[in-house]
Chain A
Amino acid sequence: MNFLRATFAVIAKDLAGELRSRELLSAMFVFALLVILIFNFALELDVKTRNTVTAGVLWVTFTFAGSLGLNRSLAIEKDRGCMDGLLLAPVDRSAIYFGKMFGNLVFMLLVEAIVLPIYSLLYNTDLFQIGFLGVVFLGSLGYVAVGTLLATMTVQTRTRDVLLPILLFPLTIPVLIASVKASMGFLQGLEIEAIRPWLNLLIVYDTVFIAVAFMVFDFVVEE
């Protein structure tokens, strides 16, 4: 009960702070929009190209915007010493991890919820399929699970803005490949049997990395 209460307290605090400042969401959203527009000019997204590159373009956009949000989310805790305030509380420290992780997931899903309709309108592509949206959720979950853990580590360094992507992108390659392949499968209308291996990989990745983060977070926040 204490665990859940602490987790929800951290999520509610992050949402309330962001609702007021809108620093994190607006930065992520503007960045995501710019990336989509740049890809449009770079790849000349005609109908034929669109079918093959949409999944890749969207996931590159989500991950770049996501890394911005992860950095900012943990920097808020570090810059005013608030991480110490969290660590002083008599709660399981993994509750703090889950609170931050779910908060980051909400921010990432909010940006995706805005970017997807815009992409859909701009490029006349139907992205609103249950299967595709499920992949977006699973991929984002895996990304923020690893990202929150790594951001907690890198935020303690002077080069945190550079260090997070350098550590995060190699570690999230499996989740990105699986997300792109599964997304592409749904968007191209492939049979579920063809997509299932990628979905399984996503589920296993999410489970393993959430479990790893749960086990090691206490050590990560030690000095």
Chain B
Amino acid sequence: MIVVRKLVKRFGLKSVLRGLDFTVQSGEFVAILGPNGAGKTTFLRILATLSKPSLGEVSIAGFALPAQAAAVRRRLGVVTHLPLLYGDLTAEENLRFYGRLYGLTALNQRIAEVLKLVGLYERRADLVRTFSRGMQQRLAIGRAVLHDPEVILFDEPHTGLDQDACSMLDNVLRQVAARGRTVVMTSHDLMRVSELASRFDVLSNGVIVASAQRAQLAPDQLLAFYRQAVQQNNPLNPSLEGEPQKEGNDLP
């Protein structure tokens, strides 16, 4: 479903991604872990067509980027730590707006389905600016799945959420994944990732340095797996600044 070969991304003289290889099969739920500055968000922005590669090949659902970006966008849903929602519109109006941009038909029915999926149907007529951060993030997932995309990208969706909101978000994520969609997610929260993803990739210094299936790792081995992968790639910097937490909130 997603094939990335020798991906390089430079900002001026600085290379953020340095020949990254990455493959995801249809229906997989892949978690990308890595310290701050590893290039996770840059990588996801390239997959999301919001940024162009400097070198290398990227294809999603058989369409090459950036040449066939419009075809990819139709098959892609993206959730970031920002909700991408308008505070002065209601939940329903926000989804209706995005539905029109995607050219969806039977929009009323689809909006109702999605609002029920994310547990916000009762609040559909409320302004988004009155929503809590967790509710906004659930609606952001609703926006991302509104057009029933084949691939969904999550960029640290738990950022800024309390434990209850994280749990509710996880339930929505599980429901989305259970529908057979391909999911790629970056996160700093190892405990949550370990319960959701089917595969863990570690991104460090702009390349994927390790990869493991969930079946290969016991839950308590994930942190050790992550630490080992990053330290091997950063022998001079074993401090692991910004490393994921085993559980709970993000590190500052």
Contacts and interface: CB of A to CB of B under 8 A. Distances in A.
Interface of A: 2, 5-6, 8-9, 12-13, 16-18, 20-21, 76, 80-82, 84-91, 222-223
Nearest to B128: A80
Nearest to A22: B88
B49 A80 contact: no
B86 A9 contact: no
Interface residues of B, number: 30
Contacts, number: 76
B49 A88 contact: yes
Interface string B52-94: 1000000000000000001101101010101111111100010
Most buried by B among A5, A21, A85, A223: A85
B155 to A, nearest CB: 10
A17 B89 CA distance: 6
B127 A20 contact: yes
Nearest to A14: B86
A12 B98 CA distance: 12
B84 A82 contact: yes
Nearest to B86: A17
Contact of A89 (B52, B80, B101): B101
A208 to B, nearest CB: 27
Contacts of A84: 50, 78, 80, 82, 84
A142 B89 CA distance: 29
Contact of A80 (B51, B76, B82): B82
Nearest to B84: A85
Interface of B: 45, 48-52, 70-71, 73-74, 76, 78, 80, 82-89, 93, 97-98, 100-103, 127, 143
Contacts of A90: 70-71, 73-74, 101-103
B61 to A, nearest CB: 13
A13 B89 contact: yes
A73 to B, nearest CB: 12
Given A9-B97, A81-B83, A88 B88 contact: no
Contacts of A20: 88-89, 127
Contact of B100 (A5, A82, A85): A5
13 contacts: A8-B100, A9-B97, A9-B100, A18-B88, A80-B85, A80-B87, A82-B86, A85-B98, A89-B98, A89-B101, A90-B101, A90-B103, A223-B52
